[in-house]
Amino acid sequence: MKPLAPHLIALTLAAPAWGASDRLDGWVELGAGVTDNGNGRFGEYRQPLQTSGLFGLGGLGLTWRDGDDPYRHGYLAAVASLDQLAFEALHARQGSYRIGFDIRQFEALSRGPVSTVFADRDGVQTLPPGYGGLAGAERFDAHLGVRRERAGLDLMRQLGPWRLAARLSSENKEGGRAVGASERFGDAALLLAPVDQRHDSVDLDAAYLDGPWSLNLRGYHSRFGNDSRALGYANPVNLAAPPRTLDLGPDNGFTRVGFDGAYRFAPTRQVSWFLSRADARQDDDFLQPLLVAGQPLLDSLDAQRVDTDLRLAFHDRPGARFGYRLRWDYRERDNRTDRVQLSPSGYAHLYDSTRERLALDADYRLGGGWRWKGGAELRRVERATRALESFRDDADDRHLWSELRLPALGPLDWSLAVETTERDSDLSTARRAELNPAAPVLATPDYLLAGRNWQYRLTADLTLAEGLLLAAHYRHTRDDFRNDYLGLHGRDSDELSLTLAWQARRDLSVNAWVQHQDFHLSQNGFEFHPTGARSQANARWRQFSDDRSRALGVNLRWQARPGLVASLDLSHGENDSSYRSRWLEAADTGEAGGTSDSLPGVGVDVTRLDASLAWDYSTRTRLQLRYLHERLRADDWAWGDDLFNVLAFGWTSPRHDGHALLFTLRHQFAPAP
């Protein structure tokens, strides 16, 4: 964390408050922890758990309140917790003004320790002197993780019916990430690409609230800067090859101006709207200007896009039993980038779209415990692509849904819901040419596939006894695509959740939950031989993916005696995927039509335990002991081959048993006299 400047700003904000204070509260927290078998996966988002050993915890907070005007208050806190380093300051008067500042930092690691054959030299991935090839190559430790540092300044001023607010944010991302850089089998598969990015944004809001009017004028500006614009690297397989350069992404900027609001005809009837126009640009100085044979030098690779949003909604609740909403929205993505030529055969590939939606939904409370909710929505999306040639694909969705809450059956409250979406698409000639069964290039993406989606839900709450509740939720979804050729053919899922909440006694509560999710999809592919010369050219196959996720957990909170609270959060998840395939026709590779094969499954099992014991030594002093455990077993055949590993950071499937023990003491200062 860049230490001094933000702290000083925060102290400056808070200082005027302290000058006139007559009530000052505070707390201090000190602690320590120890991690055993710490690693990047255990501490994926918690830095102290990324390495084994001791770490410190601490925090200090001060709150101030003006005795003459108790709505005027301030807050100052610095925290070094398991999750983040943070500093916050606030000075405010409720309903009048607010000045807030915060800065926080955390790091996300990718799996664990990594090593690479490259040596980083001034941002260029070079091979060390004496490097003689992959076999037996020396490997260097590398850090593969991104540290995010976020700072924000909040300002608010209330002036009668006007409320002016501003939020200034800045985020720095620094570290390294894995990026694929292979050109063919044998080349480096993964590179450590530096991350040095900054994202600044300003959010301005002028709101007016008076009587039936609620109006907001909003402005948002965001600027993204990438200080690691490109990465050079040597070819570790073909040592004679010239160094290559990797594009790591251009800077961009985004500005949106919006106006939204509502007019309330009555407490239960209003019209609301949202209008906005946004401008997105990127200016690129990477690899420009480019020389295209026969073309003049390009003086810009810049791009521009204008987004327009319009929304209008009418809400009405004519009576206690009935209400409805009518909503319309329109979105246009207008890509204003020139269709530049970047190579003799390469043109920029630009995308535009417009989306229009009209939705009506209503709810009605019938007598006898019946309640109905339902609605309809029409969506039309037009997608245009501009490249060497331009084409447009349209899709129309008709969505209907209905939910019925039924009268209670004794202790059972339950409801049923069904949704369906019908999609028709109108594909362009160019798209149809790509789908040509004789020489397909693409399959139809799912958002253009005609077909029908069904969704069914059942929700039930069963009161088993006083303080004992069982809640169940089941959902089934199914996509039936009208696709008799390549791409997605079917997709369905089943999800079931059960929750048991038991307030055994006033001092003991138990919550147990179980989740089961199953996702299946099938898709067709095409063993493509451009010449069609082989005996069984263009054989079709079907592939099935099955993802399953099961999780269960128990939360327990027990106040053993006044001032002594034990809590436990135990969860276990099993996630696995399996892949089956079948040749629909005899293939050149020798497989007969109808034969099946499968890939090994991929699985991740994780068990987490978070247990704590808190003891109030006095009304002002609390001691807490906390234990964290994570057992993770992953098994993935895509990682682990020796030669491949050399080029891919030595990654293997993560497996660990991590433990951490934390002890903290928190003391609350007495209010100042």
Partner 1 sequence: MIRRLPALALLWLALGAMAALAEPGADAACLMCHKGVAEGGISHSAHGLGADPAGMSPAVTCTACHGPSPAHVASPRTPPDFTFARAEGNGGDGTCLACHQQGAMAHWAFGEHAAAGVSCASCHAIHTATDPVRERGGQFGVCTDCHQREKADQLKFSRHPMAEGHVQCSDCHAPHGGSALNGLTQPTVNDTCYQCHAEKRGPFLFEHEPVQDDCTHCHLPHASVNDQLLKAREPFLCQQCHIAARHPGTLYDSARQVQRDINIVGQSCSNCHSQVHGGNHPASSTFRR
Nearest C-alpha neighbor of 278 from the set 226, 225, 332: 332
Q: Which of the stretches 2-10, 115-123, 126-134, 344-352 binds partner 1 when contact is defined by CB under 8 A?
A: 344-352
Q: Which residues between 345 and 364 bind partner 1 (CB under 8 A)? A: 346, 348-351, 353, 357, 359, 363
DSSP H or E run through 18: helix 4-19
Which of 21, 35, 39, 63 contacts partner 1 by CB under 8 A? 63
Q: Which residues between 290 and 329 bind partner 1 (CB under 8 A)? A: 290, 301, 303-305, 307, 309, 311-313, 315, 317, 323, 325, 327, 329
423 in Cβ contact with 452 (< 8 Å): yes
* Cα distance between residue 640 and residue 651, in whole Å: 6
Which of 508, 570, 599, 625 contacts partner 1 by CB under 8 A? 599
Which of 443, 469, 646, 662 contacts partner 1 by CB under 8 A? 443
Torsion of CA 179, 181, 184, 187, to 10 degrees: -100
> Do the strands 230-233 and 124-126 form a parallel or antiparallel pair, or are they unpaired?
parallel
Q: Least distance in Å: CB of 89 to partner 1?
A: 15
Q: Which of the stretches 10-18, 28-36, 44-52, 128-136 binds partner 1 when contact is defined by CB under 8 A?
A: 44-52
> Do the strands 244-247 and 230-233 form a parallel or antiparallel pair, or are they unpaired?
antiparallel
> Do the strands 390-409 and 412-426 form a parallel or antiparallel pair, or are they unpaired?
antiparallel
* Cα distance between residue 491 and residue 310, in whole Å: 33
Q: Which residues between 522 and 541 bind partner 1 (CB under 8 A)? A: 523, 525-530, 541
Q: Which of the stretches 11-19, 31-39, 129-137, 509-517 binds partner 1 when contact is defined by CB under 8 A?
A: 509-517
Q: Is 224 in the site for partner 1 (CB under 8 A)?
A: yes
Which of 255, 282, 428, 455 contacts partner 1 by CB under 8 A? 282
Q: Which of the stretches 30-38, 113-121, 133-141, 542-550 binds partner 1 when contact is defined by CB under 8 A?
A: 542-550
Q: Is 108 in the site for partner 1 (CB under 8 A)?
A: yes
Q: Is 204 in the site for partner 1 (CB under 8 A)?
A: no
474 in Cβ contact with 495 (< 8 Å): yes
Q: Least distance in Å: CB of 545 to partner 1?
A: 6
Q: Is 455 in the site for partner 1 (CB under 8 A)?
A: no
Q: Is 641 in the site for partner 1 (CB under 8 A)?
A: yes
Nearest C-alpha neighbor of 322 from the set 369, 358, 364: 364
* Cα distance between residue 18 and residue 28, in whole Å: 18
Q: Which of the stretches 30-38, 124-132, 137-145, 599-607 binds partner 1 when contact is defined by CB under 8 A?
A: 599-607
Q: Which residues of 110-123 are buried (b: 16+ CB within 10 A; e: fewer)?
A: bbbbbbbbbbbeee
Q: Which of the stretches 2-10, 130-138, 572-580, 659-667 binds partner 1 when contact is defined by CB under 8 A?
A: 572-580
* Cα distance between residue 478 and residue 254, in whole Å: 38
The amino acid that residue 265 corresponds to is: F
Contact letters (x/-) for partner 1, 408-427, by CB under 8 A?
A: --------------------
534 in Cβ contact with 515 (< 8 Å): no
92 in Cβ contact with 100 (< 8 Å): yes
* Cα distance between residue 333 and residue 310, in whole Å: 12
Q: Least distance in Å: CB of 130 to partner 1?
A: 27
Q: Is 207 in the site for partner 1 (CB under 8 A)?
A: yes
Which of 164, 204, 262, 460 contacts partner 1 by CB under 8 A? 262
Q: Is 77 in the site for partner 1 (CB under 8 A)?
A: no
Q: Is 265 in the site for partner 1 (CB under 8 A)?
A: no
Which of 9, 168, 217, 342 contacts partner 1 by CB under 8 A? 342
Angle (CA) 620-625-630 rounded to 5° is 145
Q: Which of the stretches 9-17, 29-37, 112-120, 600-608 binds partner 1 when contact is defined by CB under 8 A?
A: 600-608
* Cα distance between residue 374 and residue 361, in whole Å: 6
- For the record, the structure tokens of 382 come out as 């037009």
- For the record, the structure tokens of 552 come out as 């269960």
Peptide bond preceding 296: is omega within 30 degrees of 0, i.e. cis? no
194 in Cβ contact with 118 (< 8 Å): no
Q: Least distance in Å: CB of 93 to partner 1?
A: 7
Which of 140, 259, 274, 414 contacts partner 1 by CB under 8 A? 274
Q: Is 429 in the site for partner 1 (CB under 8 A)?
A: no
Beta bridge partners of 225: 198
Q: Which residues between 127 and 156 bind partner 1 (CB under 8 A)? A: 148
Q: Least distance in Å: CB of 541 to partner 1?
A: 4
Count of residues touching partner 1 (by CB under 8 A): 169
